[in-house]
């Protein structure tokens, strides 16, 4: 669910329908980033860049817009539906990056991130669900 809660003397809350994405899970963390020793930084591998763009386009098509100016914090709850055992947080950083980019919030301001997994019987059931709560601190 996507809730906006602004505190400025009065609490104003806007609730939208829960957003559920059905798409392939992002690559596992082991195949997500590589390290460039010369530049001393991590970078996304090409399949991850493509996954991020596809997920960003999906959020845009679903009507997710950048948040209005303000000091926002985010709480993210992620549920992965997967057919085989996988680390519960595998791919969560990639998902967080896409959500923060789409909402226009630096990922340093994610104060709560919960990941859960549900083992499903078939590969076709692979997807994730995400709920984001954004709180304005000003």
- Count CA atoms closer than 13 A to 62's CA, side-chain side: 20
Domain that holds residue 28: 2-136
Q: Which tens digits make up the pLDDT trace of 14-50?
A: 444 445 555 667 877 776 777 778 888 877 788 888 8
Residues 13 and 21: their CA atoms lie apart, in Å, by 23
Predicted TM-score (pTM) of the model is 0.74
**Count of domains for the chain:** 1
CATH number at residue 87: 3.30.1330.70
Residue corresponding to tokens 């596992």: 28
Cα–Cα separations (whole angstroms), residue 93 to 1, 13, 121: 19, 27, 25
Neighbours of 107 (CB within 10 A): 14
* pLDDT at site 1: 43
Q: Which tens digits make up the pLDDT trace of 66-83?
A: 887 777 778 888 888 777
């Amino acid at each position: 669910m996507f809730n906006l809660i602004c505190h400025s003397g009065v609490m104003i809350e806007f609730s939208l329908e829960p957003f559920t994405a059905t798409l392939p899970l992002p690559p596992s963390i082991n195949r997500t980033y590589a390290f460039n020793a010369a530049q001393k930084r991590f970078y996304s591998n090409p399949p991850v860049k493509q996954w991020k763009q596809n997920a960003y386009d999906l959020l845009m098509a679903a009507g997710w817009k950048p948040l209005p100016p303000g000091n926002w914090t985010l709480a993210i709850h992620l549920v992965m539906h997967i057919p085989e055992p996988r680390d519960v947080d595998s791919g969560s950083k990639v998902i967080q990056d896409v959500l923060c980019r789409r909402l226009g919030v630096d990922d340093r301001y994610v104060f709560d991130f919960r990941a859960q997994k549900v083992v499903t019987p078939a590969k076709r059931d692979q997807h994730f669900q995400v709920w984001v709560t954004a709180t304005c601190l000003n």
